[in-house]
Each structure stands twice: as structure tokens, then as C-alpha cells.
């Protein structure tokens, strides 16, 4: 499989100006799209995931020409609940890309129980929106890539692809299997035929009394077995685009050791849960280790360099693995 690797903006939210925008904690000197493109070039990336907010007022033909000159692939990025999908389809055509990444819901940590009735309402909304927009995407020759954004299981994502046809496929966040209690390898095996794009993300896991705390780290420094996962995906793809993403500035606490967390899930075989817990032990954080990021500590002056160094380390790690 030919792998083209680049950058995703969501692990650089403070540096780029996306974190806490419009509040006193926002970066006073955000790097924005220009800083993102410069970092991609510095690290030798050949693809970029472009946040929808950057595109609303952009000169899209000029941006396309710049990306064409560099020979970079591009993906447009938004969310199904808040994004203007009709605009995204038009922007995809203007930027000459067939890939639109969509987070499906705002649910995090696999915590359907905390959402209560809202979870069922969100699932209904996802189905309504995909039923509406999938035909538009297919007519325009673009693909809506639905992400495992800590909410849907592998089998549920495949069900959405099969329900709404070839214009709906999967962007695989390679670290977001743990929030729905699946191991990276098990999740990959289920979704591999439908994967069209990957987020190369990683976590170090700290075991807690309630479950798993997922702590951001450079891609390749955590527990996600990229090489094996790409081998499985490669059986279904001759070419693939993947972008480095570092996790959020807030740790994710997956409380799967509590009975309440499982509300809203189908029964799970014990062997599958055991595989998830075993995979989470690789490079794990000690129970008493400091897990907080500079953002969680209020050390905002350290944030930009913290994010940048994690992306630079990610690129070094992936190059060492032959994935960039």
C-alpha cells in the first residue's frame, strides 16, 4: 500500500488559535492556516487536513493552486452536527479533493450513559443527516468520511456505511478504539474494507479505579500498533492518505469499569474486552504518574512549544517506522 502522510490540525489547537477561541485563554498570536502549512512543510508532510473555519473566507482557487504546486493531498474537515455539508461539498470541488472528514457527535470517552436520552437523539440525527447528504456527495463525486470520534463502535460505523452507500466511508482515528472498549487490532479488522483515510494518533494509558485515562502523546510514543494496523488496512487499499494527529489538551477518562458506562451498548464478549485492556497496557503510565498537560495545569505559556514538539516527535517516530 502506498501511504501519503501529512498533518491534521487538532493536536495543535492552541498554537493554531482553535483552542478557547474568543476567550481570555485563547492564544494571543495564533499561527492559523499559514502556520499549519509551514509546519507541514517543515516536517516533510505531503497531505493536509483543512479545518472548515479556514475555508469560509478563503480564496479557494488560490489555495488549491498552492497545494497543487506542492503536490500535497488535501482533506476537508468538519462535523456532521454543526458543519455546513453543502458548503463542504462545494469547497471539496473547488479544492480538488474527494474527501470530507466528519465527526458524527460531540460524545467523548464512549460515555453514552452520561448523554442519556440525548445519545438516542444524536443517533437519529446522524441517520437523518447521512440520508440527506450521502446522495448529494455521491452526485458530486465526493466521499463523506465518518470518524470513530469516541462515540460509535466499529460495527456501528460499518452499519452506517452499508446503509448509506459508497459515498459514506470511514476516517479511522487509530487511537479512538479504546473509548468504545475495543482493541486497535479488533477495531481495524472490522472496519478495514471501509477505511479511506486515517488519523495517526496515539495515547498513553493510565489505569484508574473507574477505567482508562487516555493521555495525549506523540504518535508512536504510546500503545497504538500502527504497523500491524496498516498491514490490515493495506489489504483493502492500494493507496491511502493518513495525517498525524495528537490527542486533545484534556485527557479522556473512559469509565468502562463502572456499570453505568455500559448503558446503551450491546453485550460484549469477554475476550474482546480483555484484548482492549491488554492493548492499553503497552507503554502505560504508572498509576501515580503526572498525566496533566500544560493546558490542564494552566501553564498556557508552555502550550505552543509543547504542541509543536509533540508533532515534531511524531514525525520522527513515523519516519523511523517507514510510515512518513
How many Cα atoms within 13 Å fall on the side-chain side of residue 203? 29
Do 72 and 123 touch, CB atoms closer than 8 A?
no
Quick one: pLDDT at residue 203?
98
Quick one: pLDDT at residue 28?
96
Helix (H) or strand (E) holding 169: strand 168-173
Q: Domain coordinates of the chain in residue numbers?
A: 2-320
**Of 73, 315, 266, residue with least CA distance to 152:** 266
Quick one: pLDDT at residue 316?
98
Q: What pLDDT digit, counting tens, does each position of 92-111 carry?
A: 999 999 999 999 999 999 99
CATH topology of domain 2-320: TIM Barrel (3.20.20)
Q: What pLDDT digit, counting tens, does each position of 295-320 carry?
A: 999 999 999 999 999 999 999 999 99
Q: Which residues of the chain have pLDDT under 50?
A: none
Quick one: pLDDT at residue 85?
97
- Sign of the alpha-carbon torsion through 161, 163, 164, 166: positive
Question: How many CB atoms are closer than 10 A to CB 42?
Answer: 13
Question: How many CB atoms are closer than 10 A to CB 301?
Answer: 9
Q: What pLDDT digit, counting tens, does each position of 273-297 carry?
A: 999 999 999 999 999 999 999 999 9
The cell numbers describing 140, all together, are 458530486
Amino acid at each position: 500500500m502506498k501511504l501519503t502522510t501529512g498533518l491534521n490540525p487538532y493536536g495543535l489547537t492552541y498554537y493554531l488559535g482553535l483552542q478557547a477561541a474568543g476567550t481570555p485563554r485563547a492564544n494571543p498570536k495564533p499561527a492559523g492556516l499559514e502556520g499549519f502549512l509551514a509546519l507541514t512543510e517543515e516536517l516533510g508532510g505531503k497531505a493536509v487536513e483543512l479545518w472548515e473555519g479556514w475555508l469560509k473566507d478563503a480564496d479557494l482557487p488560490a489555495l488549491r493552486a498552492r497545494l497543487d504546486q506542492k503536490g500535497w493531498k488535501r482533506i476537508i474537515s468538519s462535523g456532521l452536527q454543526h458543519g455546513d455539508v453543502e458548503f463542504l461539498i462545494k469547497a471539496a470541488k473547488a479544492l480538488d479533493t474527494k474527501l470530507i472528514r466528519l465527526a458524527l457527535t460531540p460524545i467523548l470517552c464512549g460515555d453514552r450513559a452520561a448523554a442519556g436520552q440525548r445519545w438516542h437523539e444524536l443517533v437519529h440525527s446522524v441517520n437523518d443527516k447521512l440520508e440527506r447528504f450521502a446522495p448529494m456527495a455521491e452526485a458530486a463525486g465526493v466521499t463523506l468520511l465518518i470518524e470513530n470520534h469516541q462515540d460509535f463502535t466499529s460495527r456501528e460505523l460499518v452499519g452506517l456505511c452499508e446503509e448509506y452507500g459508497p459515498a459514506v466511508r470511514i476516517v479511522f482515528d487509530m487511537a479512538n478504539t479504546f473509548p468504545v472498549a475495543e482493541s486497535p487490532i479488533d477495531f481495524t479488522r472490522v472496519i478495514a474494507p471501509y477505511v479511506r483515510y486515517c488519523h495517526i494518533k496515539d495515547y498513553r494509558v493510565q489505569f484508574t479505579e473507574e477505567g482508562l485515562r487516555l493521555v495525549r502523546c506523540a504518535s508512536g510514543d504510546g500503545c497504538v500498533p500502527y504497523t500491524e494496523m496498516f498491514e490490515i488496512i493495506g489489504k483493502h487499499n492500494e493507496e491511502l492518505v493518513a495525517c498525524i494527529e495528537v490527542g486533545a489538551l484534556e485527557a479522556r477518562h473512559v469509565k468502562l469499569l463502572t456499570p453505568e458506562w455500559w448503558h446503551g451498548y450491546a453485550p460484549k464478549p469477554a475476550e474482546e474486552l480483555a484484548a482492549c485492556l491488554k492493548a492499553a497496557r503497552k507503554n502505560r503510565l504508572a498509576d501515580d504518574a503526572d498525566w496533566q498537560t500544560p493546558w490542564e495545569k494552566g501553564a498556557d505559556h508552555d502550550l505552543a512549544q509543547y504542541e509543536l514538539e509533540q508533532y515534531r516527535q511524531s514525525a520522527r517516530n513515523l519516519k523511523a517506522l517507514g510510515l512518513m
